[in-house]
Structure 1
Amino acid sequence: MSPLETPSLPSRGDRRVASDPMARNLVNGRVRLSEPDPKWPYLFRQEESRIRGALGDRVLSLDHVGSTAVSGLAAKPCVDLVMAVTDSADETAYLDDLEKVGYTLVIAEPDWYEHRVLKGPSVNLNLHVFSQGCEEIDRMRLFRDYLIADAGARERYTAVKRELSERTWKRIQDYADAKSGIVTELLAEAEAWKAAASRTH
């Protein structure tokens, strides 16, 4: 989950990055957190319809992830989506058609799961693209699901985000990196939660 509102990522080697693609998420160097907004799930469904309309069955999965996918959680007003395609490295298979409906490629990370990030035409969003079966998709979903299920985890994550939002940052990635401690902690808990749940079924 990433430079964005999903769990922060490690250093990822070679990157192609558009100029300040996440700049709108900083206001005078500070991260603006919004209170939970009932529009966020609607905005996801709107963009899901746009993406599926452009790509059809080339969309192998498409999920709402990150803090805007968790009811009751304060978040940057930026909707995170994660999409699986057959091969995210093969940009010709999906990028042209997404550009036709207004999406723009802002980050390409060939050395990190062939990760791509696109911005949308109207909604502040991050569309993450990975190949089908990529473990990062499962990681994003698990983090979301654990925060939905555990009120204490939501409270701890919110407290860290609010504290960090009071600081000034040069880049949104620096803010994301500063969350790595709580993200790692919560992901470890999420793995244990998932394992426990699987034993009871």
Structure 2
Amino acid sequence: MTVEWFGEPGGEPVELSAADAAWAVTAAEWAARMHDALAPTQVTVEHVGSTSVAGMPAKPVLDLVVGVPDIADEAAYRPCLESLGLMLRQREPDHRFFRPPAGAPRSVHVHVCQHGSNRERDYLRFRDRLRADPALAAQYAALKLALSQQVGEDRAAYNAGKTSFIASVIAD
């Protein structure tokens, strides 16, 4: 699979915050802004990741999944997301990753996927299983805390350390 990056990934510390009820409110505000910006394209916007699970410690960065009709038709969504202050950082065949530009506060990560794709379903399955199983969510929280203490500013190592846990949760 070809992955194309735009800009250099930065060495930022992995700092987890206690769960914050404001994350859900802010996610809903972002979702509304995205629906408005992307209209009339039929999209879904879902709050996923650790900030979408009640009580879960997380990096205070919201993860949102935007399901679009055609991932390859960037002209249908890219300018709209850029108008919200987001920039394309990564392109994969089944995924586009947007975030605020370097130097701007990183408050949101936007993952664009084809609506109904395996990638979109995996994001939602992981979120929903953590929400439904407090013991599983506690295991994930403990893993995240341990990794954050071990990796310092190596976000790639932090993400890699979560991979097998995530894969086991989304496996059918």
TM surpasses 0.5:
yes
SS across alignment from 2:40: helix
For residue 168 of structure 1, report the CA deviation from its aligned partner.
2.5
Tell me: CA distance 1:99–1:157, structure 2 relative to 1, closer, same or farther (3 Å).
Answer: same
- Do residues 131 (structure 1) and 111 (structure 2) align? no
Q: Which amino acid aligns with 2:139?
A: R
Provide the identity percentage. Answer: 32
Gaps of at least 5 residues in structure 1 are: 1-12, 192-201
SS across alignment from 1:63: strand
Q: Which runs of structure 2 are paired with 1:149-164 in the superposition (5 Å)?
A: 149-164=132-147
Query: Which of 47, 59, 64 is equivalent to 2:47?
Result: 64
Distance 1:42 1:138 in 2: 23
Aligned to 1:54: 37
SS across alignment from 1:126: strand
Distance 2:154 2:90 in 1: 14
- Do residues 16 (structure 1) and 9 (structure 2) align? no
Gaps of at least 5 residues in structure 2 are: none
Distance 1:106 1:59 in 2: 23
- Do residues 101 (structure 1) and 81 (structure 2) align? no
Q: How many pairs align?
A: 169
Q: Which amino acid aligns with 1:151?
A: P
| CA contact 2:3–2:90 (8 Å) conserved in 1 | yes
Q: Which amino acid aligns with 1:83?
A: V
Q: Which amino acid aligns with 2:124?
A: R
Tell me: CA distance 1:171–1:16, structure 2 relative to 1, closer, same or farther (3 Å).
Answer: farther
Distance 1:69 1:123 in 2: 17
Q: Which amino acid aligns with 2:120?
A: I
- Do residues 140 (structure 1) and 85 (structure 2) align? no
Q: Which amino acid aligns with 1:119?
A: R
Higher relative contact order (CA 8 A, sep 6+): 1
| CA contact 1:14–1:109 (8 Å) conserved in 2 | yes
Q: With structure 2 as the length reference, what TM-score do the two structures score?
A: 0.89
For residue 148 of structure 1, report the CA deviation from its aligned partner.
0.7
| CA contact 1:59–1:83 (8 Å) conserved in 2 | no
Distance 1:20 1:79 in 2: 21
Q: Which amino acid aligns with 1:98?
A: L
Q: Which amino acid aligns with 2:135?
A: G
Distance 1:101 1:152 in 2: 37
Tell me: CA distance 1:32–1:43, structure 2 relative to 1, closer, same or farther (3 Å).
Answer: same
4+ runs of 1 displaced by more than 6 Å?
none
- Do residues 179 (structure 1) and 162 (structure 2) align? yes
Aligned to 2:99: 119
| CA contact 2:6–2:90 (8 Å) conserved in 1 | yes
| CA contact 1:34–1:74 (8 Å) conserved in 2 | yes
- Do residues 87 (structure 1) and 75 (structure 2) align? no
| CA contact 1:43–1:123 (8 Å) conserved in 2 | no
SS across alignment from 1:179: helix
